[in-house]
């Protein structure tokens, strides 16, 4: 259930006799570390009071679509964007039918229609309603659209009948929900992620570096773990805790990062270079601390190894994703880097004063990305970095799966480059 920690779960409660069981679902979600917001249909409020869920979730319960006050606060579109996943438990037969039709005349239906995050339904109804061909056809339609259906259980029902239709018990329900955060899109794949800044020594106490916090790279590594990948995270000097279930290798300089990536790249399927690697380093590192003597001082710099270009040149079939942090002409620079390095995708974001609009900057908890690949592009709007990372992994998986078969890394021989060309920028 680790996967539910820090996730934002929007819980929909509809008009089923099993609605009273949703209280336990809220409690257990919060125990698992999830943040919960509840949306109830009018039917749902006939069975349990919003007050119960307000107390259990610690948040106001959302009830109405056409409510000016709600729309001024967290309206239906904001709720749709807020969530990492939507769980409707219990999901009534009528609500399921409304989803199939794409209705949006109540808050919960509208949120489900507007949202792009995983949708999970736990149907609960009389077994006759469940087995009805209309309901069964509706369930198949939703499954074909990627909706995850959990349950129902079999057993004695509130109406006295015995059969299928009971709300799935809370434990398997949450286990099933947590699966959407690691749906196995990258099961069996190895992903290597670089993150954070590098430090280039000037003398034993001074260095050149940048403001990268490593948060985006760590979130991407976590999202790749969630998607089922074996993940190697090569981290520059950052103060972030190590995410679960991955191999972390700490480095300091661009040279160390280059060597570590090279030493672990064999067998990797996807390489995601988020690290803000120094482009230049001091040509000479003095043995002792430089003393303040002259009015002016010149430090001569040389280019660091270009990790991404080097990797792509040696392993042409390896799926490589680069990052571009720009202060101007974002698209132009990003597309140029994509082409120049011959990589498969580039994720570009604003940094510095230009980042204020997108609320993204080194060290911030949010960001926005523009993705470019040779025959497409996508825009990921401002979101918390973990959420953005999951969206990015989704796009990477799609492009990785759609790449031409001949470029598959496993089919590709290592190209030996006897003379390593060192160019600035990675």
Ligand X SMILES: Cc1cc2nc3c(=O)[nH]c(=O)nc-3n(C[C@H](O)[C@H](O)[C@H](O)COP(=O)(O)O)c2cc1C
**Catalytic positions:** 159
In terms of CB distance, is 170 or 274 closer to ligand X? 170
In terms of CB distance, is 42 or 340 closer to ligand X? 42
User: From residue 23 to residue 62, what is the string marking binding to ligand X with x (rule CB under 6 A)?
Assistant: ------------------xxxx------------------
Residue 191 CB neighbours (<10 A): 28
User: From residue 202 to residue 221, what is the string marking binding to ligand X with x (rule CB under 6 A)?
Assistant: --------------------
Q: Which of residues 110-139 bind ligand X (CB under 6 A)?
A: 124-125, 129
Cis peptide bond N-terminal to 30, omega within 30: no
In terms of CB distance, is 109 or 391 closer to ligand X? 109
Q: Please calculate the CA angle 347-74-183 and round it to the nearest 5 degrees.
A: 45
Residue facing ligand X at closest CB distance: 43
In terms of CB distance, is 126 or 358 closer to ligand X? 126
Q: Which of 25, 86, 93, 278 binds ligand X (CB under 6 A)?
A: 93
CA distances 191 to 67, 138, 187, 195, Å, are 46, 37, 10, 13
User: Closest Cα partner for 320 from 350, 287, 302, 347?
Assistant: 347
Residue 310 CB neighbours (<10 A): 21
User: CB neighbours of 224 closer than 8 A, spacing ≥ 6?
Assistant: 186, 191, 193, 231, 270, 272, 393
Q: To the nearest whole angstrom, how small is the minimum distance from the Cβ of residue 389 to ligand X?
A: 34
Q: Please calculate the CA angle 113-116-117 and round it to the nearest 5 degrees.
A: 115
Q: What are phi and psi of 197, to 5 degrees?
A: -90, 180
Q: In whole angstroms, give the CA distance from residue 60 to residue 58.
A: 7
Q: Which of residues 232-271 bind ligand X (CB under 6 A)?
A: none
* Options 88-96, 205-213, 279-287, 289-297: segment touching ligand X (CB under 6 A): 88-96
In terms of CB distance, is 119 or 125 closer to ligand X? 125
For position 305 contacting ligand X by CB under 6 A, the verdict is no
Residues at the interface with ligand X (CB under 6 A): 14-18, 41-44, 92-95, 124-125, 129
């Amino acid at each position: 259930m680790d996967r539910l920690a820090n996730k934002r779960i929007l819980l929909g409660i509809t008009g089923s006799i099993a609605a009273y069981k949703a209280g336990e679902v809220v409690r257990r979600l919060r125990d698992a570390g999830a943040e919960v917001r509840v949306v109830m249909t009018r039917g749902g409020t006939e069975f349990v009071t919003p007050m119960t869920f307000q107390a259990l979730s610690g948040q106001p319960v959302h009830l109405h679509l056409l409510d000016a006050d709600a729309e001024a606060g967290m309206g239906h579109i904001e709720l749709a964007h807020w969530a990492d996943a939507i769980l409707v438990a219990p999901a009534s037969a009528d609500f399921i039918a409304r989803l199939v039709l794409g209705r949006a005349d109540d808050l919960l239906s509208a949120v489900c229609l507007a949202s792009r995050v995983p949708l999970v339904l736990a149907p609960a109804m009389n077994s006759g309603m469940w087995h009805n061909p209309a309901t069964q056809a509706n369930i198949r339609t939703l499954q074909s659209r990627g909706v995850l259906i959990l349950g129902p259980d079999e057993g004695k029902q509130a109406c006295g009948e015995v059969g299928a239709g009971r709300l799935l018990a809370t434990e398997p329900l949450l286990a099933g929900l947590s699966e959407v955060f690691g749906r196995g899109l990258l099961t069996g794949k190895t992903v290597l992620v670089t993150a954070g800044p590098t430090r280039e020594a000037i003398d034993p106490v001074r260095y050149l570096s940048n403001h990268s916090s490593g948060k985006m790279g760590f979130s991407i590594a976590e999202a790749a773990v969630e998607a089922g990948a074996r993940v190697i995270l090569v981290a520059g000097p950052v103060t972030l805790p190590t995410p679960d279930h991955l191999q972390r290798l700490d480095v300091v300089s661009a040279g160390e990062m280059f060597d570590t990536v090279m030493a672990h790249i064999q067998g990797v399927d996807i390489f995601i270079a988020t690290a803000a690697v120094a482009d230049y380093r001091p040509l000479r590192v003095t043995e002792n601390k430089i003393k303040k003597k002259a009015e002016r001082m010149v430090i001569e710099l040389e280019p660091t190894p270009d990790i991404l270009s080097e990797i792509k040149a040696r392993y042409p079939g390896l799926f490589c994703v680069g990052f571009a942090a720009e202060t101007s002409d974002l698209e132009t620079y990003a597309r140029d880097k994509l082409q120049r390095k011959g990589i498969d995708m580039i994720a570009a974001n604003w940094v510095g004063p230009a980042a204020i609009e997108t609320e993204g900057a080194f060290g911030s908890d949010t960001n926005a990305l523009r993705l470019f690949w040779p025959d497409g592009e996508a825009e990921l709007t401002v979101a918390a970095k973990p959420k953005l990372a999951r969206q990015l992994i989704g796009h990477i998986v799609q492009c990785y799966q759609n790449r031409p078969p001949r470029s598959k890394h496993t089919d590709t021989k290592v190209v030996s480059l006897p003379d390593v060309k060192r160019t600035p920028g990675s």
